[in-house]
Amino acid sequence: MSGSASLAARADGPPAPSALALDLTPAGGAAPWWRRTLRQGSFEARIALRNGEQLLLTLVLPVIVLVAAARTTSLDLGTGDRPSLALAGVLAVAVVSTAFTGQAIATGFDRRNGVLRLLATTPLGRSGLLAGKVLAVLLLVLVQVVVLGAVALAVGWHPEALRVLAAVPAVLLGVAAFTSLGLLLAGTVRAEGTLALANFVWVLLLAGGGLVLPSPIARVTDLLPSGALGGALRSALAGGTVAAGPLVVLAVWAAVATAACSRWFRWE
Amino acid sequence: MASPLPSLAKATTAPAVLVEDLRKSFGATRVLDGLSFEAAPGRVTALLGPNGAGKTTTVACCEGLQRPDGGRLQVLGLDPVADAAALRPRVGVMLQDGGLPTGVGALEALRHVAGLHTHPLPVDALAERLGLTSFARTRVRRLSGGQRQRLAVACALVGRPELVFLDEPSAGLDPQARLAVWDVVREARASGVAVVLTTHLMEEAERLADDVVVIDAGRVVARGTPADLTRGPAVLTFVARPGLPRESLRLALPVGADVVEDQPGHYAVLGIPADPRVAATVTSWCATHDVLPEGLGAQRRTLEDVFLDLTGRSLR
Q: Is the pLDDT at A6 greater than 60, yes or no?
A: no
Interface list for B 262-301 with A (CB within 8 A) = none
The helix/strand/coil state of B254 is: coil
C-alpha–C-alpha distance, residues A230 and A232, integer Å: 6
Residue A16 forms contact with B (CB below 8 Å): yes
Stretch (H or E) spanning B106: helix B106-115
Cβ–Cβ gap B88/A125 under 8 Å? yes
**Residue B6 banded pLDDT, cuts 50, 70, 90:** very low
Q: Is the pLDDT at A79 greater than 90, yes or no?
A: no
Distances (CA, A) of A116 to A47, B58, B100, B252: 15, 19, 9, 66
C-alpha–C-alpha distance, residues B34 and B19, integer Å: 9
Identify all chain B residues contacting A6, using CB atoms and an 8 Å cutoff: 210, 225-228
Q: Is the pLDDT at A13 greater than 90, yes or no?
A: no
C-alpha–C-alpha distance, residues B134 and B177, integer Å: 13
User: Quick one: pLDDT at residue A202?
Assistant: 92
Residue A74 forms contact with B (CB below 8 Å): no
Please state the rounded mean pLDDT for residues A96-118: 94
pTM of the model: 0.83
Least confident of A189-198, A206-215, B61-70, B250-259: A206-215
Residue A35 forms contact with B (CB below 8 Å): yes
Domain boundary assignment for chain B: 6-230, 235-299
Stretch (H or E) spanning B103: none
Of B89, B126, B207, the CB nearest to A30: B89
Q: Find residue B35's DSSP bridge partners.
A: B22
Residue type, B23: R
Burial classification of residue B310, based on how many CB atoms lie within 10 Å of its CB (0-12 exposed, 13-18 middle, 19 or more buried):
middle
- In Å, how far from its chain's centre is CA B75? 20
Please state the rounded mean pLDDT for residues B278-304: 88
Stretch (H or E) spanning B201: none
Residue type, B47: L
Identify all chain A residues contacting B161, using CB atoms and an 8 Å cutoff: 26, 28
Cβ–Cβ gap A18/B129 under 8 Å? yes
Minimum distance, in Å, between the CA of residue A153 and any CA atom of chain B: 33
The helix/strand/coil state of B189 is: helix
Minimum distance, in Å, between the CA of residue A213 and any CA atom of chain B: 35
Of B5, B99, B160, the CB nearest to A28: B160
| List of long-range contacts for A67-75, beta carbons under 8 Å, 24+ apart | A67/A151, A67/A155, A69/A212, A70/A152, A70/A155, A70/A156, A70/A157, A71/A155, A75/A213
Residue B250 neighbours by CB under 8 Å, 6+ apart: B257, B258, B259
Q: Is the pLDDT at A73 greater than 90, yes or no?
A: no
Interface list for A 88-127 with B (CB within 8 A) = 109-110, 113-125
Q: Looking at per-residue confidence, does B299 or A119 come out higher?
A: A119
Nearest to A111 by CA among A199, A189, A49: A189
Cβ–Cβ gap B103/A47 under 8 Å? yes
Residue A13 forms contact with B (CB below 8 Å): no
Q: Is the pLDDT at A180 greater than 80, yes or no?
A: yes
- In Å, how far from its chain's centre is CA A143? 12
Mean pLDDT, chain A, as a whole number? 89
C-alpha–C-alpha distance, residues B35 and B75, integer Å: 15
Q: Which tens digit of pLDDT belongs to each residue from A209-252?
A: 888 887 788 888 999 999 999 999 999 999 889 999 999 999 99
Cβ–Cβ gap A114/B210 under 8 Å? no
Of B98, B117, B224, the CB nearest to A31: B117
Identify all chain B residues contacting A53, using CB atoms and an 8 Å cutoff: none
**Residue A14 banded pLDDT, cuts 50, 70, 90:** very low
Q: Is the predicted ipTM greater than 0.95, yes or no?
A: no
Of B112, B187, B225, the CB nearest to A1: B225
Of B65, B116, B126, the CB nearest to A31: B116
C-alpha–C-alpha distance, residues B253 and B260, integer Å: 13
Minimum distance, in Å, between the CA of residue B247 and any CA atom of chain A: 37
Residue B174 neighbours by CB under 8 Å, 6+ apart: B146
At the topology level, CATH places domain B235-299 in: Alpha-Beta Plaits (3.30.70)
The helix/strand/coil state of B255 is: coil
Identify all chain B residues contacting A31, using CB atoms and an 8 Å cutoff: 115-118
**A107 near A187, Cβ under 8 Å?**
yes
Stretch (H or E) spanning B44: strand B44-48
Residue B224 forms contact with A (CB below 8 Å): yes
Q: Which tens digit of pLDDT belongs to each residue from B9-22?
A: 444 568 999 999 99
Mean pLDDT, chain B, as a whole number? 90
**In chain B, whose CA is at the least distance from the CA of A10?**
B207
Interface list for B 101-120 with A (CB within 8 A) = 101-104, 112-113, 115-119
Minimum distance, in Å, between the CA of residue B243 and any CA atom of chain A: 35
**B35 near B219, Cβ under 8 Å?**
yes
User: Quick one: pLDDT at residue A1?
Assistant: 38
**Residue B312 banded pLDDT, cuts 50, 70, 90:** confident
Cβ–Cβ gap B65/A121 under 8 Å? yes
Least confident of A62-71, B99-108, B294-303: B294-303
Residue B15 forms contact with A (CB below 8 Å): no
User: Quick one: pLDDT at residue A5?
Assistant: 39
User: Quick one: pLDDT at residue A9?
Assistant: 39
A to B CB pairs, distance under 8 Å: 169
| List of long-range contacts for A195-203, beta carbons under 8 Å, 24+ apart | A195/A105, A195/A108, A195/A109, A197/A104, A198/A100, A198/A101, A198/A104, A198/A105, A198/A108, A199/A101, A199/A105, A201/A100, A201/A101, A202/A57, A202/A96, A202/A97, A202/A100, A202/A101
Of A6, A40, A113, the CB nearest to B99: A113
Q: Is the pLDDT at A126 greater than 80, yes or no?
A: yes
Please state the rounded mean pLDDT for residues B235-247: 91
C-alpha–C-alpha distance, residues B110 and B147, integer Å: 13
Residue type, A225: P
Q: Is the pLDDT at A108 greater than 90, yes or no?
A: yes
Interface list for B 160-199 with A (CB within 8 A) = 160-162, 182-184, 186-188, 190-193
C-alpha–C-alpha distance, residues B208 and B203, integer Å: 8
> Candidates 3.30.70.1350, 3.40.50.11740, 3.40.50.300, 3.40.50.1100; correct CATH number of B6-230?
3.40.50.300
User: Quick one: pLDDT at residue B313?
Assistant: 61
Residue A50 forms contact with B (CB below 8 Å): yes
Nearest to A173 by CA among A232, A237, A94: A232
**Residue B129 banded pLDDT, cuts 50, 70, 90:** very high
Cβ–Cβ gap B117/A21 under 8 Å? no
**B214 near B55, Cβ under 8 Å?**
no
Q: Is the pLDDT at B123 greater than 70, yes or no?
A: yes
